Amino acid sequence: MATDNVKDYLGHECLTTRAFERFGDNADEARVDAATDPRRTARQLGINLVNTDDRLTRLAQMLKVCEDLVKSGTDSDEVEAVLAAAHEYAWETGRHFERVAGVSLVAIEQGGLWKPATAKEVSHV
């Protein structure tokens, strides 16, 4: 990674820079919204955080159902069906998280808490 040598204000590897590398493409839509009305970033962040929490709660419930089915000796087809649904839901939740990451990164930019950095620079302002 080109940014492995970028350090934060404490001299540690800058994980914010790594997050921008990993999720920066997901920030593009949020940047357009922010340019229209910066308050939309806060709204989108709130919506996405609540939705992510809801999704993770549902996923935990699905896995609990699966655990209960296994413990009760239920037919393996039922267990497999619940696991397949949980697996797909987990992938969808991962894609949702990427949107949360994008909006969060835009909020960091808007707050002036980060600026692009080149190797060996401190990336936090």
What integer best gives the mean pLDDT of the chain?
Answer: 83
Per-residue exposure over 59-79, b if at least 16 CB sit within 10 Å of its own CB, e if not: beebeebbeebeeeeeeeeeb
More confident residue, 8 or 121: 8
* Average pLDDT for 82-97: 88
* Average pLDDT for 23-46: 87
- Alpha-carbon gap, residue 19 to 39, rounded angstroms: 22
> What are the beta bridge partners of residue 122?
7
Query: Residue 59 sits in which domain range?
Result: 15-110
- Alpha-carbon gap, residue 107 to 42, rounded angstroms: 7
**Domain count of the chain?**
1
Domain annotation covers residue 47: yes
CA distances from 97 to 3, 23, 86 (A): 23, 10, 16
**Above 60 in pLDDT, residue 120?**
no
Q: How many residues does the chain have?
A: 125
**Above 90 in pLDDT, residue 82?**
no
Domain annotation covers residue 103: yes
Domain annotation covers residue 115: no
Domain annotation covers residue 23: yes
Q: Shortest CA distance to 106 belongs to which of 34, 39, 49?
A: 34
**Above 60 in pLDDT, residue 32?**
yes
Domain annotation covers residue 53: yes
Domain annotation covers residue 30: yes
Tell me 11's DSSP state. S
> What are the beta bridge partners of residue 7?
13, 122
Domain annotation covers residue 6: no
The position carrying tokens 């609990």 is: 64
pLDDT digits (tens, 9 = 90+) for 64-81: 988 888 888 877 888 888
**Above 70 in pLDDT, residue 91?**
yes
End-to-end CA distance of the chain, in Å? 22
pLDDT value of residue 55 = 92
* Average pLDDT for 35-52: 89
Tell me 27's DSSP state. G
Which segment of 18-22, 30-34, 51-55, 119-123 scores lowest on mean pLDDT? 119-123
**Above 50 in pLDDT, residue 119?**
no
Domain annotation covers residue 124: no
